[in-house]
Chains A and B, each alone.
Chain A
């Protein structure tokens, strides 16, 4: 099996898996970075969202070879700064219920805020509607985003 060099959360890893293995399973099974969640396996729900070179990607449909020579950030990487406004607001407003989709919600939002600190309502709607939540925390996610955007201004 081939070896791949990955840069995840500013650390280098060598993993030996066969070509075509989704990045999601490399993170979860090979590297025990289980904060990135499996839910649909087809890029439909956003639970497995990571940042690759600063952009959101669904790690369940990104193969390991596509991730080589790129900077990958997972929820564990983002959480190295627990004072990130998204984390603080998520706790303030108790956004989470079961919490399973929340790493995906947070990674998606954090990337949007990095690229545009004052996103429009439409941009927020379009971006956040790509991540599903079965507990129905959308209402609080909206409140949290409003608060974060407001505090940035």
Chain B
């Protein structure tokens, strides 16, 4: 890179910093307008960090987020390719490393498509405009006489054309335009199409490299023994037996436990089992789930700290028909099929990390901090994940791997066992929801009060002094589009020593269960159809009402079901998207069968319909697993469950037929990874109520 370019880049970074607007401007950092390679190497045109076109005509789109099954490795390059006008079949998609130059790379919060919708289309359009200008200059004509298509710029007047490769070197010499025109949605060629995922063939042929499959030269294998109680530490250990076992190279102590380094994963596991460790179990060694539950129960009769208030409402609800209930959900864990793992190489004050991570820049920071080196000395390669669901937003496993590598002086791959993955997660916190409400005799909602009692992830992870109203625990509480005249939301924060973090949809995985169930209770108390009761509370132009109306129509909501069967409805909004779900169940001899499941989403413009449907289907199975089966139990300060036998998940034969529908519109693009979670548990339990008259207020569901 020339000095000129370095200087330009610094200037641009300064602009980014000043504006605070990060992403969009960051897409214009001209980090390498041209690399003047030696000899006959191709010249590279790269007007932004998100794409490269070389003089041989190879178009590379850089994918800067993380792929864990949600399909963004396909969806994000589609945004660039749409505006760039290239042949989708011929592009190369390159996974980036962690680097601030890409803006935010944290892959969570259903943000990948909606936060990159603008910058990536702009990146594509910018390059296209420069290529068109380069061609116009060559033909000595105006840009309006040229257009781009499938990797060529075409001269309208005579049909002549130049390939992007032929134009790359000239385009690289042009100034980067700052105000490009984006396509009208009606002209989209890729966006909205069922484009096949770019990584499917390798995945199904066993060729895809997940984190756990990474092999680097000179690599050894590591396993780690951690304290069974959270907050404990190693008192002392005896590694003699372990070191006498086959294939053991070394035993080292790191901040999180004692690691065994071996010549294979199996030897590392066996060596780790042979360690004799005396633990200082720490201050929470006797804590159980019941202790944490009792702490929450203490607050059930308190009012809680005000978060939202509208109309005139007291905790002591009065009204024509009054009702109240307490809803409850447990600790649960992510349990992706690929257990945590990471490859780390520490050498001469620098670290190189191969991490299946949702949060690559955080991995850079955390590893740098743990090793006492600067962030710029940590390279993080982002590797494909065998499921994330929020678990891999926390990089504890990358820090462990880096510490082990530093302590033993070798490149190592740390692999967690399933048991460790189950026990040493960052768990979805439990919560209790106290709900009180009233309806009028003529069937109208009057009052609604919701007190959320839960540990706060934002408080535990970021700011111990965070107050209730600034915390995250009220996410997914009553949908404020509901026109209930008197409404109050309060909260109480519960301390816990159990590590907690973001589980797909976070508090939207728990508060909507309480709210949408209680709304159902209000509907029945008001002697109203649960669908109509909701509909009358929503403005007529509400997108939520729209998705609900479609769901009701698809389900045949008004068709009567025989005894023992029932339908339940629930709606949710979040991540700039809207979702309605209807479950149809049979309960016979206290056994539940889900006969049919309908989900309708409005996520604005749909980038890839197939992926939107897949995300909805997946969210429903994930949420049904949680609602029906999942519970993490705390005993002796740690986790009791250890594998898929005591932490089961939904299986093939238990999964209902799932019908998904999406609304076609041109609203701003919304997130799709998490919104499908929120309405699922209440749709299910409302259906169980309709079938049996039994109201489920505590998850996982128990019918007896």
Contact = CB atoms under 8 A, between A and B. Distances in A.
Contacts of B208: 99
Interface in B68-104: 68-71
A134 B246 contact: no
Given A96-B197, A98-B338, A139-B617, A79 B207 contact: yes
Interface residues on B, range: 35 or more
Interface string A90-105: 1100111111111100
B265 interface: yes
B368 to A, nearest CB: 28
Contacts of B415: 38
Contacts of B239: none
B387 to A, nearest CB: 5
A40 B418 contact: yes
B541 to A, nearest CB: 33
Interface in B371-421: 384-389, 415, 417-419
B643 A25 contact: no
Interface in B411-450: 415, 417-419
A138 B652 contact: yes
B503 to A, nearest CB: 12
A25 B337 contact: no
Contacts of A21: 266
Interface stretch (B557-565, B577-585, B618-626): B618-626
Given A97-B618, A126-B653, A138-B652, A76 B70 contact: no
Interface string B615-646: 00111111001000000000000000001110
A106 interface: yes
B448 to A, nearest CB: 32
B119 interface: no
A134 B14 CA distance: 43
Contacts of B203: 96, 99, 102
A98 B265 contact: no
Given A29-B266, A91-B201, A126-B653, A34 B338 contact: no
B335 interface: yes
20 contacts: A34-B212, A38-B339, A39-B339, A39-B386, A39-B418, A45-B337, A90-B204, A98-B68, A98-B385, A99-B69, A99-B386, A102-B204, A133-B337, A134-B337, A134-B622, A135-B621, A136-B622, A137-B618, A139-B658, A140-B614
Interface of B: 68-71, 196-197, 199-201, 203-210, 212-213, 215, 221, 246, 264-266, 335-339, 384-389, 415, 417-419, 610, 614, 617-622, 625, 643-645, 649-655, 657-658
* Top-7 shortest CB links A-B: A35-B206, A136-B621, A100-B386, A98-B69, A99-B203, A75-B206, A97-B69
